[in-house]
Amino acid sequence: MYGLVLCTSCKRKRITDLKCETSACPYCDRVSKTCELTVLFSDRSQSVVRNALNSAESSKYPEPRKKSGTDHDPVSTLIFRYEHTSGTFEKLVVLADGLTGMKGTFSKNDVNEIFPGEGEHLIEQMISADIIIEIRNGTYKAL
């Protein structure tokens, strides 16, 4: 299985073999654990993934939001990234990181605003996957 992933360091897109435990970024040489990479797209065929990389436009595979706040709407950006991330764990990481990035901390209600009725369920999943911690009663933060 090959994946179109984002480098955890320079945030550039590249193709990696998802079977490997680690992969090195050709742009910045950063070695990342494959399980920690954001997978934007994956397919069994490397050429399909390569086509996706070649046709990837910023509208289709948005770059992670920068702190400068130049993006239009952080919530839509987060939802878009969530929808275009494959794998349950990866989706939860995108959600947890997105909410923490936007708000610093977040609550069940913040999750419910994006996924109505799913807040409690998603937070339980994120806690059991060690993606977030409860720093105060009902207040969470990405690890």
Binding site for Zn ion (CB under 5 A): 7, 9-10, 25, 27-28, 30
Considering the complex, state which of residue 11 and residue 108 has its C-beta at the smaller distance from Zn ion. Answer: 11
Closest distance of CB 28 from Zn ion, Å: 3
Helix segments in the chain, DSSP class H = 46-55, 74-83, 88-103, 108-114, 119-128
CB closer to Zn ion, 4 vs 122: 4
For β-strands 38-43 and 31-33, DSSP reports them as unpaired
Distance CA 12, CA 56 (A): 12
Nearest distance from residue 4's CB to Zn ion, in Å?
Answer: 14
Q: Which of residues 10 and 35 has its CB atom nearest to Zn ion in the complex? A: 10
Least spacing, CB of residue 37 vs Zn ion, in Å: 10
Nearer to Zn ion, 25 or 142 (CB): 25
Minimum gap (Å) between residue 109 Cβ and Zn ion: 36
Contact 6, 37 (CB under 8 A): yes
Please say whether the beta carbons of 81 and 94 come within 8 A.
yes
